[in-house]
Amino acid sequence: MRKKIIILAGDPNSINSEIIYKVWKKLKNSEKKDIIILGNFDLLFDQFKKLNIKINIFKIKKIDEYQSPKYLKIIDVPLKYRNPFKVSYKNSSKYVQKILALGHKLAIDKLVKGLINCPINKNLLNRARTIGVTEFLAAKCNINDSSEVMMIHNKNLSVVPLTTHINIRDISKNIHTDLIIKKVKTLNNNFKKLFSKKPRIGILGLNPHNSEFKNNSEEMLYIKPAILKLKKKRINISGPFAADTMFIDNYKKYDVIVGMFHDQILTPFKTLFRYDAINITLGLKYMRVSPDHGPAVDLIGLNKGNYLSLFKCIKFIKNLN
């Protein structure tokens, strides 16, 4: 039996049902057989109805239960709601975490080829918004050394933030040599496995103009020492580079750019590639990817949701060895 691709329905208050439908229309019948949704059956039925979407859905209990490409298969996950696009915070939070936990179990038991989670408001995982799905699943995998890596990938370039969902004021105190080494080693090893090539890695500094490489700067205290140690391990890494000029042309010399914080690299990356990218978690015990955008609550019901990133996620998982 071919292993299935599991799509976690994600945030109930989102454009997820819309982009799932748009992707479903684009898939070949042979691909549809391998797609299973983890989500609430009634919610998706009501959302499709409210959006005037005509799609055949079928409730299943086991991943190998039904093979017809005529129906979108759904493993039902409990959820209480009244309005299909205005589910309460409490119920949404429980629902999202149930979906993630069930997806994790299927993946850890090696029953699926990979997980794709549709966008989730991070408040549903943690009110302080200090963790996202990357950190949530890493904890499920008992990875507590911060070695997991969030990589945003386009065929022409990937980017990795050293720190992910933390406040700007906390970034500098979270940057240290050991963290850089852990993250880059995870990146290097997993990139080689996924793409059969040793990545050329460029790493950015933290401060404007790399703080002119002053002795007490993060560049001199943590980043340069980490680069030297990584080079001794024969990792192809260069830097630190100033962030303000890297994405003009210099980025083209590298396969991956590592930045010190989320928006330092995600902002220019999304300016370059928009929705033509996917979010890959490296270092888990299974493959997890997600669309590179949020729940887009403001677009619900407008038929403006862009399905490209979710489509790319499916193609990426499908083509894994």
Query: Does 46 share its domain with 165?
Result: no
User: Do both 108 and 17 map to the same domain?
Assistant: yes
Q: Tell me, yes or no, if the pTM score tops 0.85.
A: yes
Residue 216, exposed/middle/buried by CB under 10 A (0-12, 13-18, 19+)? exposed
Q: Give 89's Cβ-side CA count (13 Å radius).
A: 7
Q: Smallest Cα–Cα separation from 22: which of 278, 291, 317, 320?
A: 291
Q: Residue 222 is part of a domain; what is its CATH number?
A: 3.40.718.10
How are beta strands 157-161 and 149-154 bridged, if at all? antiparallel
Residues 83 and 216 in one domain: no
Same domain assignment for residues 44 and 69:
yes
For residue 128, pLDDT over 60 is answered with no
pLDDT digit string, tens, across residues 255-290: 999 999 999 999 999 999 988 999 999 999 999 999
Instruction: Say yes or no: 191 and 317 in one domain.
Output: no
State whether 153 and 279 are in the same domain: yes
In the chain, how many domains are there?
2
129, pLDDT greater than 60: no
Same domain, 131 and 149: no
Calculate the alpha carbon distances from 221 to 44, 145, 167, 228, 265 in Å: 51, 21, 21, 12, 22
Q: Based on the domain organization, do 126 and 149 belong to the same domain?
A: no
pLDDT tens digits, 198-231: 999 999 999 999 888 898 899 999 999 999 999 9
Cα–Cα distance, 59 to 53 (Å, whole number): 18
Say if residue 5 is in the same domain as residue 135: yes
Q: Are residues 124 and 58 in the same domain?
A: yes
- Helices 41-50 and 16-26: crossing angle in degrees, nearest 10, is 80
190 and 249 in a single domain? The answer is yes
State the residue range of the domain holding 229.
145-283
What pLDDT was estimated at residue 1?
Answer: 56
